[in-house]
Amino acid sequence: MIAPGVFVLTNEFALTSTTVVAGHDGDCLLIDPGITVDDLKEIALWLAGLGLRPAVAWSTHPHWDHVLWHSVLGTDVPRYASPAAAATTESERGSMIDELQMTAPGHDLELFGRLVPLKADAIPWNGPAAQLIVHDGHAPGHGAVFLPDTGVLIAGDMCSDVEIPLLDTVADDPMGDYRTGLALLAAVPDVRHVVPGHGHAGDTREFRRRLAADAAYLDRLEGGEAFDDPRITQDWLRCSHDAQVSYARR
């Protein structure tokens, strides 16, 4: 528990975060549950042990590891995402399923990525206010969630301590989109805890440090010269970074 009624479960796969927000009468908001079938079953058992049941869910963005579900979490739970994220998930469903099957096979594909587009400033539910910050940094319709009662910002795949900024390089303006996203997150008042989609939760000072580190990364990327970053510790991150440097040079 990182704040009253807010729990973060960290999966060993890419340090993926599942966030749970307790509401009223045993309801909870479930954000980005993952990763394997067994992991989702364990989440359901853990919630039941706390007397909680998912009443609503939110997917922060349209990547396979953020649109997962299992029937044990509830078959009638509305699983919301921003309109752009929901549309992208639908249009790229085939390629996302291919990624899923390579990395975490066995999921019920009828439940995978079945998102309800939500055009709103907040998630509708019987619990603490959950404000939405939607932008196109990292992925179309990337939707961070801010809990003003506790100062928790669930940042999706941004503000990570273990990943560099990963751009949506098929967008018209990937770096501009990412900078806009960072600016929107930086403008959120009174952030006391930040939860990245991959990595570790941090306090206010760490949140500001990560914003600065991400902005500095983009600055160097736009320079078009080869450079390094201490967060590049895995081969896939090195490949992504090199590809982004090549993109910036073009």
DSSP state of 58: E
Residues of the chain below pLDDT 50: none
Which residue in this structure is represented by tokens 């500001």?
A: 208
pLDDT on residue 250: 86
Structure token digits, residue 39: 């992991």
Residue 28's CATH number:
3.60.15.10
Residue 104 lies in a domain: yes
Range of the domain at 148: 6-249
pLDDT on residue 224: 87
Structure token digits, residue 104: 């975490």
Residue 220 lies in a domain: yes
Are 147 and 135 within 8 A, CB to CB? no
Residue 105 lies in a domain: yes
φ and ψ of 106, to 5 deg: 105, -5
Please tell me the chain's helix, strand, coil percentages from 3-state DSSP, rounded to the nearest 5. Answer: 35, 20, 45
Q: Quickly count: other Cβ atoms within 10 Å of residue 250's Cβ.
A: 7
Q: How far apart, in whole angstroms, are the C-alpha atoms of residue 54 and residue 76? A: 10
Per the structure, how many domains does the chain have? 1
Residue 1 lies in a domain: no
Structure token digits, residue 88: 């992208």
Peptide bond into 2 cis (omega under 30): no
DSSP state of 190: T
pTM: 0.98
Residue 47 lies in a domain: yes
Residue 222 lies in a domain: yes
**pLDDT tens digit sequence for 137-148:** 999 999 999 999
* Sequence-ordered list of residues with C-beta below 8 angstroms from that of 16, at least 6 positions apart, any chain: 10, 32, 34, 35, 65, 197, 198
Q: How far apart, in whole angstroms, are the C-alpha atoms of residue 3 and residue 11? A: 19
Structure token digits, residue 13: 């796969």
Write the secondary structure of 96-140 as one string of H (helix), E (strand) and C (coil).
HHHHHHHHCCCCCCCCCCCCEECCCCECCCCCCCCEEEEECCCCC
DSSP state of 198: B
